[in-house]
Chains A and B, each alone.
Chain A
Amino acid sequence: MNEAWIGPVVAHLGRGLLVTLWISLLSVVVATVVGIAVGSLATSPKPALRAVVRGYVTLFRGIPSLLILLCVFFALPQIGLATGPLTASVIGLGLWGSANIAEAARGALFSISPHQGEAARALGMSARATLRDVLLPQAARRFLPPYIGQLTVLIHASALTSVVGVSDILGSARQMIERLAYMGPDSHAILIYGMVLAVFFAICYPLTLLADYAERRLRV
């Protein structure tokens, strides 16, 4: 068996891995910022605002991530926003992830006794100060384990971006497999997908451990 294919394939997968990490990082940032903001709004005293939050979370959690990705990729140019596959992927994954993170944030906030908020308000604290100094710090401990879990899910979902043409690690793997298929009768699919699998596992397994640790450590 000729082993010469391995070098170029690994190099190509390496470039794909960088794209995967970059997309994961950007969508994690988008999902975290939007998710925490939206989740915090769920504690608003205004019913209309809470309804908007509920709608947002329900909508994006109710749609497959792949569908959101395709919609963003094909819909944004329609309204005049020319975006490349990478930007579309970050927006799509970010929106999808933000709904899950918002739900985790909302759950964490609501797990704090309403008496805590009452005690803060009784001191004369504003709604914002109550959230910032009393509710959020306590909710953060309960938020962290499910949040880390969501990061894993988001990193997994980044593999979907190859569908809209991003050369992430999975897209690169498929390109390599197809190219090698022209060159000879041997199929390298199992080996190459095996490498991708190992890479995803190597990234996500420590995160899973971290989530478990956080859950044990921060149990309130």
Chain B
Amino acid sequence: MTSTASDPIVSVRKLHKSFDKLEVLKGIDLDVRRGEVVVVLGPSGSGKSTMLRCINFLETFQSGTITVDGRPVGYEAGDHRRPLGEARNAKVREHVGMVFQSYNLFPHRTVIENVMMGPVKVKKVARALAREKGMALLAKVGMDHKADAYPGQLSGGQQQRVAIARSLAMEPSVMLFDEVTSALDPELVGEVLKVMRGLAQEGMTMIVVTHEMGFARQVADRVVFMDGGVIVEEGAPGDIMAAPKTERFGNFLSRNLDQ
């Protein structure tokens, strides 16, 4: 058990990513272990969302490797950097949950149908079982009373909680959160962070890109600070957020202190 607990679920090596001539990731190395909560901080344009999107191959990348649960992401392992193909990418994504800034629920399906979509369409779970498990997940995020509502009838915070339940329904090895509270009205941020905090306490492996300093300080096992496409500093929040080693992180913290 101890050996598996220390195995990285997500392993990023020498990741380089460019959009045309603009290099946004300039060699990222990151390991995330089972049950670990890693919060990624950084100014906008630092590449943190792009890195997250590379992990489930919503973005291609030019060099470097990523593995999830030991499976290569996007490209064949080894010397030949051949694309894996859509079917194998889909297989890897089954193990990676992702929650987006703009929720991206399916507007033509009800809340419970959104949650059932992955298990039914991808894992071919029987509808009755998927519904039962889906309702339990909705209860967990406090949304079971809206199971038959359509996403358009919900507030942003409610939609985001449903989106989290939809991702959890696939029973992923790791959850990626991409600025999930950035589009929310301030009074709705708390309900979403509370759900995420609960997940962290249950031992879910999470990579969280956020601007919420309080969440980073209280929930993260490790904080990673990115700027200009590289990881500038990382460590336990109690250490590096109290005493940043670099000027860049120090400046970033003081600019975002009141948040």
Contact = CB atoms under 8 A, between A and B. Distances in A.
Interface in B96-116: 96-98, 100, 102, 104-108
B208 interface: no
A178 interface: no
A28 B58 CA distance: 38
A115 interface: yes
A83 B220 CA distance: 73
Interface in A89-118: 113, 115-116, 118
A82 B167 CA distance: 57
A125 B121 contact: yes
A187 interface: no
Contacts of B106: 116, 119-120, 134, 138
A181 interface: no
B86 A133 contact: no
B122 A122 contact: no
A72 to B, nearest CB: 36
A80 to B, nearest CB: 39
Contact of A126 (B56, B90, B108): B90
A45 B94 contact: no
B58 A122 contact: yes
B170 interface: yes
B90 A116 contact: no
Contacts of B121: 123, 125, 129, 133
B58 A123 contact: no
A7 interface: no
Contact of A121 (B93, B102, B105): B93
Nearest to B56: A122
Interface residues of B, number: 27
Contacts of B87: 126
A154 to B, nearest CB: 28
A127 interface: yes
A194 interface: no
Contact of B167 (A121, A123, A129, A220): A123
A64 interface: no
A168 B184 CA distance: 61
Contacts of A137: 108
Interface string B44-80: 0000000000001010000000000000000000000
Nearest to A128: B86
A138 B122 contact: no
A115 B98 CA distance: 12
Contacts of A123: 93-94, 117-118, 121-122, 166-167, 170
Nearest to A133: B121
Given A45-B86, A133-B121, A134-B106, A119 B93 contact: no
B20 to A, nearest CB: 16
A137 B106 CA distance: 10
B122 A129 contact: yes
Interface string B29-51: 00000000000000000000000
B81 interface: no
Interface in B143-176: 163, 166-167, 170
Contact of A116 (B58, B89, B104): B104
A8 interface: no
Given A119-B104, A121-B58, A126 B117 contact: no
Nearest to B57: A121
A122, A126, A138, A220 — most chain B CB neighbours (10 Å): A122
A185 interface: no
Nearest to A126: B90
Given A45-B86, A126-B87, A118 B170 contact: no
Interface in A124-163: 124-127, 129, 133-134, 137-138
Contacts of A129: 121-122
List the 3 closest A-B pairs by CB distance, nearest first: A124-B94, A119-B104, A123-B118
Given A122-B98, A125-B90, 9 more contacts: A115-B102, A119-B100, A119-B163, A122-B58, A122-B100, A122-B167, A123-B93, A123-B118, A129-B121
22 contacts: A45-B86, A115-B100, A118-B104, A119-B104, A120-B106, A122-B56, A122-B58, A122-B96, A122-B97, A123-B93, A123-B118, A123-B167, A124-B94, A124-B122, A124-B170, A125-B117, A125-B118, A126-B86, A127-B86, A134-B106, A138-B106, A138-B108
